[in-house]
Amino acid sequence: MAGAWEVFTPPAVAALLQQLRGQTLGLGNAIWLLERDPCAPELNARRLSGPLQPVVCRTHLNRGYRLAFTTQPAAPHHAQRVVILYVGERDTRNRARDIWSVLHDLFGVPNPPEGHLLPHCCADGLPAIDEDTLAAFERRLARLVRGR
């Protein structure tokens, strides 16, 4: 899996990252590792369970934050890439604010109950998202970010 990956940050995610700037979350290191190999052991990336398992992996950042990502194979308009889908706080006391609830809502799928398995991100191949699903996700995310 080792090789150079392009890390793609959709504009709405870039706006979220700008809001988190200076909070020492370890985001720079996570992106550095993703550029080298989204399966790097140091990332300890895990798949989400439930309906997003084929699409989304996550890694821990500092201070209770998580980074959700997926991958896309090389295409005529881009190299193989990691797509950062969302960065947010894990909040088990308020599932409405929790990164995983927000992410599931953005994809329009139910969030599985607590206590689910989190297999290694690359155990059964890389997660993947197609262009149409990504475009629809980006539109919903842009509306969410504008509403904040």
Task: Give the pLDDT of residue 4.
Answer: 81
Q: Which amino acid is at 99?
A: I
Sequence-distant (≥ 6) Cβ neighbours of residue 55 within 8 angstroms: 48, 70, 107, 127, 128, 129, 133
Strand ranges inside 48-116, DSSP E: 57-60, 65-72, 81-89
Number of residues that make up the chain: 148
User: Comparing C-alpha atoms, which of 17, 142, 9 is closest to residue 87?
Assistant: 17
Domain limits, the chain: 6-146
Q: Which amino acid is at 46?
A: R
Neighbouring C-beta atoms of residue 95, cutoff 10 Å = 13
Query: Rounded to an integer, what distance in angstroms lies between the CA atom of residue 46 and that of residue 140?
Result: 24
Task: Give the pLDDT of residue 2.
Answer: 46
Residue 82, SS3?
A: strand
DSSP H helical ranges for the chain: 11-20, 27-36, 99-107, 131-146
Task: Give the pLDDT of residue 60.
Answer: 94
Residue 130, SS3?
A: coil
Stretches where the chain sits below pLDDT 50 are 1-2
Half-sphere exposure of 62 (CA within 13 A, CB side): 11
Token duo for residue 30: 């996570």
